[in-house]
Chains A and B, each alone.
Chain A
Amino acid sequence: MSDLTKLTLKGAVDGLRAKDFSSAEITHAFLTNIEAANPTLNAYVEVTADKAMDMARASDARIAAGQGGALEGAPLGIKDLFCTEGVQTTAGSNMLRGFVPPYESTVTANLWRDGAVMLGKLNMDEFAMGSSNETSAFGPVVNPWKSANSNAELTPGGSSGGSASAVAADLCLAATASDTGGSIRQPAAFTGTVGIKPTYGRASRFGMVAFASSLDQAGPITKTVEDAALLLRSMCSFDAKDSTSLDIPTPDWTQSVGKSVKGLRIGVPREYVVDGMPAEIQALWDQGVAWLKDAGCEIVEISLPHTKYALPTYYIVAPAEASSNLARYDGMRFGHRAEEFKSLDDLYATSRAEGFGKEVQRRLTIGAYVLSAGFYDAYYVKALKVRRRIAEDFDNVWGQVDAILTPSTPSAAFALGDKQIDPLTMYLNDVFTVTTNLAGLPGISVPAGVDAGGLPLGLQVIGKALDEATVFQVGAALERAAGFTAKPGKWW
């Protein structure tokens, strides 16, 4: 039998439905891959092998009975930020080591409703705060890709590094992920995979460990644009348990994949040319423009004048919201509690100092500072005003364009340890992705080429709010034109 783990999600779902192979077979094949690869790649923090096989056999029974949902029997990896009933959920933090949720996140509940099989929980930056997976309490994830010019182990990006690495290394058919400033799209770009963050409010945040609630949004990391359309549809739903969930129908986005892009107007924002951007990123972007032009798109130069303010805005808004959200970790009702303490305040402070890693502590400190008396207006309120300016930039161009094309990241994957010294250098990873979080817009990263060392590079398509259809349509056109088929050589 051919290697089932190389299949796309769509290919696997079709094969399962046609009874070409069973869910037990493909699930077992993935568990075998994980066992061999995980000691090196560290993509999974927990493998739920027995549960996976039970779910697979239940799927096979449903398929045999002529039943089954849209993802019936498909083995997936779940970012360890989604609460899974009875299965440890840590968000990559010592604070939550041993935390076993007694409830299921809405996103994952939707996947099980549609018949998916859970292989395990995927590693991530602690509380999704990071761009290289190095802030995880479980150690960094390693990118299955290596540069032709070096033997260094590379980051898969972050915070959804485990998701991206697992998909790229065939350790699952597809994975759930989440994106607060670029945490789906940057790892997808670094690993030659597809990642989409939908419009804010499409996917329920219930049962997702919170980072910055006005920015956090779930989405998939997959091998193809069609797979992303398929998986995102299952993940999204209206949910009364999330006050910002949108009560609107979820379209069948697979219908948009393969549709002609002729006549679509594509914006190219001049402010996305950043200082020090490698020539190959500019070349890839130019190539993307040429592909879409060839496919019949009209290319329109646009201006998003507040782009350069997006990252500093984000680094006020996100830590401020995190400082509020993570106040819940007080060591009383769940999470880590210190053994030694002198007073109640000391118990809180010691539990949090022991439970949180360095980057989380740094961001919580910034958050507390920008929200503190005397600085609230100068920093936090100011950032919220600039945030509106950034969102208005997009509103102002939607009359002229149907979608926007940008690079996904300012570089290819970098070596683990390379950007640890200076937090600001690390933050710049999100320069192209963070604007859509602030504005709530959908954005997809599609693998479109490689750098001089053969490492994957991604292009990003940004769409209007709720217009994932056009994002998938343009993303699929780029995927077709790029014909990106490179896979990492197996060295692990």
Chain B
Amino acid sequence: MAIDAATVRKVAHLARIKTPEDRLEPLAQELNGILAWIEQLDQVDVEGVEPMTSNVAQPLRLREDVVTDGDKIDAVLSNAPKSADGFFVVPKVVE
């Protein structure tokens, strides 16, 4: 499954990483190298094997559905690129 420049453009968009046109081809080559190496996984017989998503055998814990934290507007906004009046300020994106 060789990757070409068009695929890199699409994936870079999915990842929301702006990639200049002249980087697409070199990136495609790099990714092809890595994916060719990864394809050795096809040698493994995984018939009937359950995908392993976690190392932890225990089920996720549940707790009461109640508020445990909050009322920290200043802390929440303290690292915002821009904020005003207790809100995040984002650039205008709807005309």
Task: Give A residues with C-beta under 8 Å from B.
Answer: 98-103, 200-201, 214, 240, 243-244, 246-247, 306, 308-309, 312-313, 315-316, 323, 327, 330-337, 341, 343-350, 352-353, 356, 361-362, 364-369, 372, 375, 378-379, 381-389, 391, 422-424, 439-440, 465
Residues B72 and A102 in contact, CB atoms below 8 Å apart = yes
Residues B33 and A424 in contact, CB atoms below 8 Å apart = yes
A244-B56, A368-B11, A372-B14 as given contacts; A344 in contact with B44, CB under 8 Å: no
Cβ contacts under 8 Å, B66 to chain A: none
Name the residue in A200, A244, A367 with the highest tally of chain B Cβ atoms < 10 Å from its Cβ: A244
Residue from A103, A240, A247, A323 in contact with B63 in the complex, judged by beta carbons closer than 8 Å: A240
Q: Is residue B2 within 8 Å, beta carbon to beta carbon, of the partner chain?
A: no
Query: How far apart are the CA atoms of A345 and B60 in the complex, in Å?
Result: 35
Min Cβ gap A237→B in Å is 15
Residues A334 and B80 in contact, CB atoms below 8 Å apart = yes
Residue from A334, A352, A382, A423 in contact with B16 in the complex, judged by beta carbons closer than 8 Å: A352
Min Cβ gap B57→A in Å is 9
The 17 listed contacts between A and B (C-beta, < 8 Å) are: A101-B79, A102-B79, A240-B63, A243-B60, A244-B55, A246-B56, A312-B37, A335-B81, A343-B93, A361-B15, A365-B31, A375-B1, A385-B44, A386-B46, A423-B34, A424-B34, A424-B37
Query: How far apart are the CA atoms of A247 and B58 in the complex, in Å?
Result: 10
Known: A309-B44, A353-B19. 6 other contacts (CB 8 A): A247-B61, A332-B90, A352-B18, A362-B30, A385-B49, A423-B30
Cβ contacts under 8 Å, B19 to chain A: 353, 361
Residues B18 and A383 in contact, CB atoms below 8 Å apart = no
A334-B80, A386-B41 as given contacts; A356 in contact with B17, CB under 8 Å: yes
Query: How far apart are the CA atoms of A240 and B56 in the complex, in Å?
Result: 15
Query: How far apart are the CA atoms of A387 and B7 in the complex, in Å?
Result: 27
Cβ contacts under 8 Å, B17 to chain A: 349, 352-353, 356, 361, 364-365
Residue from B41, B55, B78, B90 in contact with A102 in the complex, judged by beta carbons closer than 8 Å: B78
Residues B78 and A331 in contact, CB atoms below 8 Å apart = no
Query: How far apart are the CA atoms of A365 and B41 in the complex, in Å?
Result: 20
Query: How far apart are the CA atoms of A465 and B57 in the complex, in Å?
Result: 11
Majority secondary structure of chain B interface residues (helix, strand, loop or mixed): loop
Min Cβ gap A451→B in Å is 27
Residues B15 and A365 in contact, CB atoms below 8 Å apart = yes
Task: Give B residues with C-beta under 8 Å from A.
Answer: 1, 3, 7-8, 11-19, 27, 30-31, 33-35, 37-44, 46, 49-56, 58, 60-61, 63, 72, 75-76, 78-82, 88, 90-91, 93
Residues B41 and A369 in contact, CB atoms below 8 Å apart = no
Residue from B33, B38, B76, B93 in contact with A344 in the complex, judged by beta carbons closer than 8 Å: B93
Residues B37 and A333 in contact, CB atoms below 8 Å apart = no
Residues A388 and B49 in contact, CB atoms below 8 Å apart = yes
Cβ contacts under 8 Å, B76 to chain A: 102, 333
Name the residue in B50, B60, B78 with the highest tally of chain A Cβ atoms < 10 Å from its Cβ: B78
Query: How far apart are the CA atoms of A372 and B60 in the complex, in Å?
Result: 27
A344-B93, A385-B52, A388-B52 as given contacts; A349 in contact with B41, CB under 8 Å: no
Residues A201 and B56 in contact, CB atoms below 8 Å apart = yes
Residues B55 and A345 in contact, CB atoms below 8 Å apart = no
Q: Which residue of chain A has its CB nearest to the CB of B58? A: A246
Q: Which residue of chain B has its CB nearest to the CB of A331? A: B81
A200-B56, A330-B16, A368-B14 as given contacts; A379 in contact with B49, CB under 8 Å: no
Residues B79 and A100 in contact, CB atoms below 8 Å apart = yes
A103-B75, A331-B81, A424-B37 as given contacts; A323 in contact with B30, CB under 8 Å: no
Min Cβ gap B56→A in Å is 5
Cβ contacts under 8 Å, B82 to chain A: 337
Q: 8 tightest A-B contacts by CB? A: A440-B55, A384-B51, A334-B79, A102-B75, A385-B46, A388-B52, A349-B18, A337-B81
Q: Which residue of chain B has its CB nearest to the CB of A369? A: B11
Residues A315 and B34 in contact, CB atoms below 8 Å apart = yes
Min Cβ gap A410→B in Å is 16
A309-B40, A312-B40, A365-B11 as given contacts; A244 in contact with B54, CB under 8 Å: yes
Residues A201 and B31 in contact, CB atoms below 8 Å apart = no
Cβ contacts under 8 Å, A375 to chain B: 1
Min Cβ gap B30→A in Å is 7
Query: How far apart are the CA atoms of A424 and B27 in the complex, in Å?
Result: 14
Residues A200 and B55 in contact, CB atoms below 8 Å apart = yes
Cβ contacts under 8 Å, A423 to chain B: 30, 33-34
Cβ contacts under 8 Å, B27 to chain A: 362, 365
Query: How far apart are the CA atoms of A439 and B55 in the complex, in Å?
Result: 6
Query: How far apart are the CA atoms of A465 and B44 in the complex, in Å?
Result: 25
Q: Which residue of chain B has its CB nearest to the CB of A372? A: B14
Min Cβ gap B90→A in Å is 6
Cβ contacts under 8 Å, A316 to chain B: 38, 41
Cβ contacts under 8 Å, A350 to chain B: 18
Cβ contacts under 8 Å, B91 to chain A: 341, 344, 347
Name the residue in A345, A365, A368, A389 with the highest tally of chain B Cβ atoms < 10 Å from its Cβ: A365
Cβ contacts under 8 Å, B31 to chain A: 362, 365-366, 369
Cβ contacts under 8 Å, A103 to chain B: 75
Cβ contacts under 8 Å, B15 to chain A: 323, 352, 361, 364-365, 367-368
Min Cβ gap B68→A in Å is 9
Query: How far apart are the CA atoms of A102 and B73 in the complex, in Å?
Result: 11
Cβ contacts under 8 Å, A345 to chain B: 13, 16
